[in-house]
Structure 1
Amino acid sequence: MDNIAGSKSGLTWAVHISVAFLVALWLFPTLGLLVSSFRTTDQISSSGWWKAMFPTEQTIQLRTGGTAEAVQQDGLYVVEGNLLTDEGGPGMGSKPVAFGVSSREIGAYEIGETAVYSDGDETLTIAEDGAYRYTSVEEPGRRGQRVFLTAVTPAQATLDNYKTILFSGSGQDNMAKAFFNTLTVTVPATIIPIVIAAFAAYALAWMDFPGRALLIALVVALLVVPLQLALIPLLRLHLGIGIGKGYLGVWLAHTAFGLPLAIYLLRNYMVGLPRDIIENAKVDGATDFQIFTKIILPLSFPALASFAIFQFLWTWNDLLVAKVFLIDATGSTTVMTNQIVELLGTRGGNWEILATAAFVSISVPLVVFFAMQRYLVRGLLAGSVK
């Protein structure tokens, strides 16, 4: 009875669990990048992104004022200030809970206590509002004394990372230029193969001419050609005709690598369209071009959208083809993937900058995927069921 058509399989629960696991596996890193892009360096180093909505306890190394801030009172040099608002402090919203004057005991004193340095000539007191009073028999040094402050910092977000990435002007931190460079590469590299493949797919699906079966077999064979195998010969060809150092070369490279799949998907979809519609149009005197533009293309929109999603994502996230065919010593045509690689070298320790750059890079593919995903399955299943 379990095999009766229309009855639910006993493994339905397993399918649901697997789908939920895959969705979570994909969603959590994306959500982590988004949250981390709004956090500071100290927040990222002190707690995971899943704790961003809760207050966190962190220890920060700060310095008291130095010679310039010291005043003499009753034979002592006195420096006063506020560790929460001074440079590098956690901010007024934070609550100090402990402090220390030695890296070996960073939380040795409670707030309100007076810390006495090892020589006995210096003291430090920190109040609950972050105000401190440092005293010394001798004149303090120019840089002041180290203080290790442990404070509870409330959840907070910052847009400074996006300002640095998008509006930092020239240089490797500026992702805005790389963003538009990536659009300049991706949009033509998506449109050109779709246009060519649509004409080729219609011819292979509905036009009779010698060698059609051989061309179809050749298209299927090209699907298994490794990208890396064709890079060097194609680059030598581009350099020989003078298009290997600009956008035109990378457009044609992406077009060449994307055409086999595009023709295969579109041809399978078009060949499954009702034959009566095409034959009636021919009886009414329509030409092949009129049939293609007014009947085939509107009906093939799911397959076109399906390939557009794949080609856009592949081109947007591409690094290898851009590295090989977009040769630019000045950086004026650098795409986002290459820019992120360069940031790993210059900003390798700034996780907040890297997370922001990564999320800016994936934001457009996310929008494209969710806007057109309803056509994805229909296009992939094109021609699989008769």
Structure 2
Amino acid sequence: MLETRSWIEDYFNEAADAVFIFQEDALVVSNQLAKDLQKELEFDPAYLLEIADAAIKQKFTPSDDCFSCAIRNLMPEISIPIALASDKPHPLPYFLIYHVINADNHVFSLTLKNRGVMSRMDQMANQRQLTNYVSRAHEEERKQISQDLHDSIAQGMYSAIMGVRRLNTEDLSDGNLAHFTDAIEQQLSATLAEVKEMALDIRPSVLDNFGLVPALKVLAQRLQENSGVTIDVLPKAATDGLDTDTQSMIYRIAQESINNALKHAKATEISILLVSHDHFIILEVMDNGQGFDVPKYEHFNGRSLGLMNMNERVKALNGAFKIVSAPGDGTTVTAKFPVQNAVQQPSDTASQPTIN
């Protein structure tokens, strides 16, 4: 029992937060960091008590000024932002955490947590969460590619192989031979077309060879032919100066937004608008579909690029991402990216490059 108590005391004294424990208005015990902080900053723990008192009274309307009355027991915990050493060049930002330990005996703790440390911990937690989201998204994409290869490409190749075997094992007339070779050729052509379709979804060569705007036009044309939905590309910006990562991200957001509109929104018209201003470029994908309640779908949903994943990947490039939608009002997806130099809008002058 004594050894256990010693362990608890060691843990309390070595805690990374400054902890003060009170009973009524009297300080009962504090850990080593609290003592060091009190000595270094030369403050009275009663000062923390007054701050907690004022914060709690903002939540309630007590009938008197007694801090140790019932008001203290009405809230088991409250967090209060404060700044210590506020009279010095570099004030120290903290959270003061008030926590009830024993309500009957009016025992409570006041804990000082460094806001900078907490902020960094939150950033690390968010980064871990984002990494998990991205990993899951990539795994879903790999799963889909694997399924497509097995269900479509592999089956097409197997069918062609069986046809070739039949040519080698059966004595066919000239007419049947021509029929089977034609069937094999058609099967291989269909399989090749599916391979090209998959390659376009994964990484379109036109994006690398000709740039962002032609790639968006090819994407729109292909999806329009497949779906019958009108998809317009309205380029109001030259994109030659954009870095590769930004161009790829704009293409992916446009691709995912169009696919979402086709799969879920029942849209009949989709417009892709690309506009440049001083120091930034904006992509807008607008559809006239049925719309949706954005807050319900903000988090990762298992598809290749969920809305959460889009937002975080845009922020990774110092961009801004926004979705405006409501049931019955269509959807507008907006992504805004900074550029080092202003990307000039194309003009009608002969000297200005033309994007077809």
Normalised to the residue count of structure 2, the TM-score between the two structures is 0.30
The structure richer in strand per residue is: 2
Q: Which has the higher contact order (CA 8 A, sep 6+)?
A: 1
Normalised to the residue count of structure 1, the TM-score between the two structures is 0.28
